[in-house]
Amino acid sequence: MGVKISVEVNGVGQQSEVEPRLLLVHYLREDLGLTGTHVGCETSMCGACTILLDGQAVKSCTLFAVQAEGCKVTTIEDLKKDGTYHPIQEGFWEEHGLQCGFCTPGMILSAYDLLSRNKNPSEEEIRHGLEGNLCRCTGYQHIVNAVQSAARKMRG
């Protein structure tokens, strides 16, 4: 038996009937076709499924879709506007903050949350802000550089 939910995803209202146990990450990927949100460990350890829920970074593998009722969800697909990448996306490209790209959407949305609260974070604050996101490729320094670059661009 399904449960009706109403949620705003990337600025678009969605009304759906979902199974009560359906994880938010699967709702986004399978029901809405937003595959930028990745399924990694499904235990909240890797951060590949990170999205913004009412503006705060959360791991969508730890929430049921029904828990997003009445909320605003932002996925990586919403950051690029009118063909222009967000400064964080540009930073990851320019500073080589990605290799395989699997962790990248979660890293970018965690960085977005951090930079929305702290316009000029130190390296330590960036590392702390990204703690819940694992990368197996980059060694993290390029990711930190990418966030620093984005912060500079966003400050103007």
Domain with residue 107: its CATH number is: 1.10.150.120
d(CA 61, CA 50): 8
Same domain, 54 and 93: no
Answer with the one of 78, 113, 142 that is the final residue of a domain. 78
**67-93 pLDDT per residue, tens:** 999 999 999 999 999 999 999 999 999
Q: In what order do the strands lie in the sheet with 50-53?
A: 12-18, 3-9, 72-74, 50-53, 56-59
**126-143 pLDDT per residue, tens:** 999 999 999 999 889 999
- Amino acid type, 143: I
pTM over 0.75: yes
Q: How would DSSP label each residue in 64-118?
A: BGGGGTT-EEE-GGGT-BTTB--HHHHHHHHTT--SS-SSHHHHHHHHHHHHHH-
The position carrying tokens 């999205």 is 51
Q: What is the pLDDT confidence band of residue 1, given thresholds at 50, 70 and 90?
A: confident
Same domain, 33 and 62: yes
What percent of the chain stands above pLDDT 70? 100
- The predicted model gives 102-113 an average pLDDT of 97
Same domain, 40 and 63: yes
pLDDT of residue 129: 97
Mean of pLDDT over the chain: 96
Same domain, 143 and 119: yes
pLDDT of residue 96: 96
pLDDT of residue 122: 98
Q: How many domains does the chain have?
A: 2
CATH code, domain carrying 31:
3.10.20.30
Q: Which range marks the domain in which residue 147 is found?
A: 87-155
d(CA 1, CA 4): 10
Same domain, 50 and 91: no
Same domain, 17 and 66: yes
**34-74 pLDDT per residue, tens:** 999 999 987 889 999 999 999 999 999 999 999 999 999 99
- The predicted model gives 98-102 an average pLDDT of 94
Same domain, 46 and 104: no
Same domain, 70 and 91: no
Answer with the one of 32, 59, 78 that is the final residue of a domain. 78
pLDDT at residue 102 tops 90: yes
Answer with the one of 78, 99, 118 that is the final residue of a domain. 78
Same domain, 128 and 108: yes
